Amino acid sequence: MCSPQAMEKVAVTRRGVLGAGLAGIAVAASAAVPGIARAEQRTVRFREIVDLTHTAFPTFPNFFGFSMEVEPIYTLEEHGVFANRLHVFEHFGTHWDSPAHFVAGAPTNEQIPAERLIAPLAVIDISERAARDPDAVVLPADILRWERRHGTLLPGSFLAMYSGWEARLPTDKFLNADKSGTYHFPGWGLEAAQFLLEERDFVGLGVDTHGIDPGHDSTFPVHIETFSAGKHGVENIAQLGSLHPAHMTVIIGAPKHRGGSGGPARLFAVA
């Protein structure tokens, strides 16, 4: 445990409705920290902060049928400190994929620069089509339609598909398996991914479903093509339908364990 003198001081302030409507984060480095001669403070303010993370629960639907276990290790009553041991698959709940998840020799968790985890956010809405067709995919036309409304994608963008699929949680309809065991949920189409790789600068793809590829495609072509190009992904994103489709920034709190293929993540959209 760090002493209070050696910790960064983080203050979060929020003005009321009658004020400027800004949320602010002020970070000050303590002068008591060795090597820092004086306190320096930087304040970043946002009008809006949206948590894009589902609360994980033991039976959160996933491809592999794994569950999450929270094992109590220490209690305040007995040990004076509260701590659990978390048993969880890397790709569980709202989670992040590093390129190594599908590509041999590709970067693992700790090799992804932080600047690739903060990006302009574009939300591509295919919810009307997905309501009629569970195998719907994002098409190049969907991206071009977004650009006609909001302008060309900013360099280094992160694109997230919104299909409305989170409304199916926590039921089996989220994975939506047929009698043969094949899943049916929306994802990114390979043509859209190839269009982005050839024509646009982006850092990664996200979905509000359990897979960047549509559920019925077990060859995972979108994962493989985009991860081979160094892109990353986020699956099971929450609340995308509440966001402005443009003019927001995504902050991906990706895990940084050595050699990781990804892991549960905390996502925020800010503006």
Q: What is the pLDDT of residues 105-115, one digit of tens each?
A: 999 999 999 99
Residue 44, CA distances (Å) to 9, 96, 270 in order? 14, 25, 11
- pLDDT on residue 45: 80
Which residues, in sequence order, are bridge partners of residue 27? Answer: 10, 42
Amino acid making up residue 104: A
Domain boundaries, the chain: 4-47, 69-270
Q: In what order do the strands lie in the sheet with 49-51?
A: 49-51, 266-270, 248-253, 118-125, 157-162, 202-207, 232-235, 95-97, 262-264
CA distance 215 to 62: 11
Which residues of the chain have a pLDDT value below 50? 1-39
Alpha helix stretches (DSSP H) within the chain? 76-79, 127-132, 140-150, 190-199, 221-228
* Backbone phi and psi for residue 262, each to the nearest 5 degrees, phi listed first: 145, -155
CA distance 122 to 50: 14
- pLDDT on residue 42: 61
Number of Cβ within a 10 Å radius of residue 221: 16
The CATH H-level (homologous superfamily) assignment of domain 69-270 is Putative cyclase (3.50.30.50)
**Widest distance between CA atoms in the chain:** 66
CA distance 250 to 203: 11
CA distance 248 to 133: 28
Q: Which residues contact 25 (CB under 8 A, 6 or more apart)?
A: 10, 11, 12, 43, 44, 45, 46
Residue 246, CA distances (Å) to 37, 73, 123, 169 in order? 41, 44, 7, 26
* Backbone phi and psi for residue 224, each to the nearest 5 degrees, phi listed first: -65, -45
- Provide the strand spans (E) within the chain: 9-14, 23-29, 40-46, 49-51, 69-74, 83-87, 95-97, 118-125, 137-138, 157-162, 187-188, 202-207, 232-235, 248-253, 262-264, 266-270
Residue 171, CA distances (Å) to 60, 167, 247 in order? 9, 9, 33
- pLDDT on residue 41: 60
